[in-house]
Amino acid sequence: MVEIIPVDNVADNSPLLEVKNLAVTFRTTYGDVPAVEDASFTLRRGKTLAIVGESGSGKSTTAMACIGLLPNNGSVTGGSITFEGLNLVKLPESKMRAIRGRAIGLVPQDPMSNLNPVAKIGTQVAETLLVHGMATKKNVKERVIEVLTAAGLPDAGDRAKQYPHEFSGGMRQRALIAIGLACQPRLLIADEPTSALDVTVQRTILDQIDSMTEQLGTSVLLITHDLGLAAERASDLVVMHRGRVVETGPAEKLLNDPQHPYTQSLVRAAPSVAAVRLRPGAYHADAAERTKLAEAVFEEHQTEDEVGLAAAESTDNIVEIRDLTKIYKRRGSSEDFYAAKNVTLDVPRGQTVAIVGESGSGKTTTARMLLKLVEPTSGTMTFDGMDVATLDKKQLDDFRQRVQPVFQDPYSSLNPMFTIERIVEEPLNVYKRGSKKERAARVRELMDQVSLPQNALRRYPSELSGGQRQRVAIARALALKPELLVCDEPVSALDVLVQAQILKLLGDLQSELGLSYLFISHDLAVVRLISDYVCVMKDGELVEAASSEEVFQNPRHPYTRQLLSSIPGNELNIA
């Protein structure tokens, strides 16, 4: 392993990064837009500082300004950013390139747009190591495996030979983390570094970052919407709201005794902080009542012409999955990979079934098979008594309208060439729902439901924050008023306030319309909040399935207990 020598002759606890009166402005067709105003904070050597706040509050913009990676239409218009005595704002780009990666590392938020889709993962890690002199051509393969293993990727030697599209969302995020940590920089800017990771791997990654901090004096600027994670990992917090810093202070003190009204609202809305005190079903009506409502809606609206189910028997389950298995051929290996193995579960009508487990456990694969985006190797799936595998063209067309997905990654699931209005309206146009005027009204109604301003309709996905893009994806999924939503990490990219709004929205819609949800998540606090039943998956197999109350109060499988013990902030006494 390459030896990294800590910086010598620096005073303990001395400032590494100082941001003073920072202002960042974006030039748009509608005029200049201030994104950050008068922001100030100090990050000391060997410490972790977390910036928290809602989507669009200026967290990521502040971080990108610190590393000189603002978009072309963005610029620092005031203040200073001082790193080890250098004012980065005035530093030429040629010198800034020498600092990035080696002295200041970055773990960006979105794995798909930051990994080269046509280069193997190992090649991308190796490039970073070679460019910054952290490996030689002779030992680079060994170093790549070390870095990927440290980032929590199993079978790192085989994984290095694969491409990003062959990884799950969480595995792609871990590859990004491996690249960011490869050079063991003195400052690591981590922009939502674990938002796509399950809690056990999240703890592994964050433990490694803590180890760097302790051994090498590395400082971490952590951007996160997870207050539990911030409380557990950061020594100090900076709370941002609408581009301004509204409160700063020691993490635990600030979260136990927040002074600013906005900070107080963040703490109240954070399920990850108060997970052990939230009750299942807190956001929606009694499960039995919702089942009755769903059955009534089903009987009222279903016809033979619509779905060809005249001979189908009535069932209390909208989805029944039996012995579902998916096998992939592994690149560079003679052994088959079981992405899902003999998965059996039901989704009761009008209720929420959550699937939890680590990245690569088979959660998303199971959901994609149900959506008919991936063909199963064996097993059966039924939707309202219909065998999903044998749908004809007309039935499949109806199935697509009644079952809608909300994907994990809001960056790759939205067409970058479409305006937000066109994206949300697209399902209505494809299935010819209503007149042009009615479709426009429905789009505006959906924007209100997901807490997006009407003026966002004229924008493109690239002009929105990650959380705002996810809200657009949810609005599009709701457009056709489906009966079943398959939600793959639908709130993982959202700050706690918007997360609470979306979960409340999903609960309200379920109560009003009898919707059913298959909810994929690695956030156990969110799962406890919204689910009626919980299925725990590990290595492609279902290891535990029971009511939400039973799983959280009396977990039976050791892996379930491990997941619960790994919830960030779970051990902290935060009001």
Do the strands 187-191 and 104-107 form a parallel or antiparallel pair, or are they unpaired?
parallel
Structure tokens at 575: 């009001």
Q: What is residue 282's predicted lDDT score, i.e. its pLDDT?
A: 36
User: How many angstroms separate the CA atoms of 484 and 474, rounded?
Assistant: 13
Identify the CA nearest to 456 among candidates 444, 466, 474: 444
- What are the DSSP E strand ranges found in 308-402? 317-329, 336-348, 352-356, 378-383, 386-387
CA angle 408, 159, 412 (to 5 degrees): 25
CATH topology of domain 287-414+481-565: Rossmann fold (3.40.50)
550 burial via Cβ count (<10 Å: 0-12, 13-18, 19+): middle
Do the strands 352-356 and 378-383 form a parallel or antiparallel pair, or are they unpaired?
unpaired
Q: What is residue 305's predicted lDDT score, i.e. its pLDDT?
A: 40
Sequence ranges of the domains in the chain:
8-103+188-269, 116-184, 287-414+481-565
Do the strands 403-406 and 386-387 form a parallel or antiparallel pair, or are they unpaired?
unpaired
User: How many angstroms separate the CA atoms of 243 and 261, rounded?
Assistant: 16
Q: What is residue 312's predicted lDDT score, i.e. its pLDDT?
A: 36
For tokens 């004012």, what's the residue? Answer: 87
User: How many angstroms separate the CA atoms of 515 and 485, rounded?
Assistant: 8
Q: What is residue 13's predicted lDDT score, i.e. its pLDDT?
A: 63
Sign of the C-alpha dihedral, residues 415, 416, 417, 419? positive
Identify the CA nearest to 340 among candidates 375, 388, 371: 375
Residues with Cβ within 8 Å of residue 47, at least 6 apart in sequence: 13, 213, 219, 220, 235, 236
Q: How far apart are the first and last CA of the chain?
A: 44
Identify the CA nearest to 520 among candidates 333, 384, 355: 355
Enter the DSSP assignment of 432.
T
Neighbouring-strand partners of residue 427: none
Listed as own residue / partner, the contacts of 133-136 with beta carbons closer than 8 Å and 24 or more positions apart are 134/2, 134/182, 134/183, 134/184, 135/2
* Tens-digit pLDDT profile for residues 347-383: 999 999 999 988 778 998 999 999 999 999 999 999 9
Q: Report H helices in 40-168.
A: 59-66, 93-99, 111-114, 121-131, 140-150, 156-159
Q: Distance of CA 30 to CAs 27, 359, 458, 459, 462, Å?
A: 8, 41, 11, 11, 16
Are the beta carbons of 536 and 545 closer than 8 angstroms? yes
User: How many angstroms separate the CA atoms of 107 and 120, rounded?
Assistant: 18
CATH topology of domain 8-103+188-269: Rossmann fold (3.40.50)
Q: In a 3-state reduction of DSSP, which class is residue 103?
A: coil
Are the beta carbons of 179 and 124 closer than 8 angstroms? yes
User: How many angstroms separate the CA atoms of 439 and 368, rounded?
Assistant: 28
User: How many angstroms separate the CA atoms of 116 and 123, rounded?
Assistant: 10
Q: Residue 542: enclosing H or E segment and its boundaries?
A: strand 541-547
Structure tokens at 538: 């590990």
Quick one: angle between helices 496-513 and 287-301, nearest 10?
60
Enter the DSSP assignment of 390.
G
Length of the chain: 575
* Tens-digit pLDDT profile for residues 7-59: 444 445 678 999 999 999 999 887 898 999 999 999 998 889 999 988 778 99
* Tens-digit pLDDT profile for residues 142-169: 999 998 988 878 889 999 999 998 887 7
Identify the CA nearest to 520 among candidates 400, 366, 369: 366
pTM of the model: 0.68
Q: Write b or e for each residue in 294-309: b if 16 or more Cβ atoms lie within 10 A of its Cβ, otherwise e.
A: bbebbeeebeeeebeb
Q: What residues in the chain have per-residue pLDDT under 70? A: 1-13, 195-198, 201, 208, 212-213, 215-216, 271-315, 493, 495, 568-575
For tokens 């790759």, what's the residue? Answer: 412
* Tens-digit pLDDT profile for residues 59-102: 989 999 999 999 899 999 999 999 998 999 988 888 898 888 88
CA angle 148, 154, 156 (to 5 degrees): 45
Q: What is residue 485's predicted lDDT score, i.e. its pLDDT?
A: 94
16 burial via Cβ count (<10 Å: 0-12, 13-18, 19+): buried
Q: What is residue 314's predicted lDDT score, i.e. its pLDDT?
A: 40
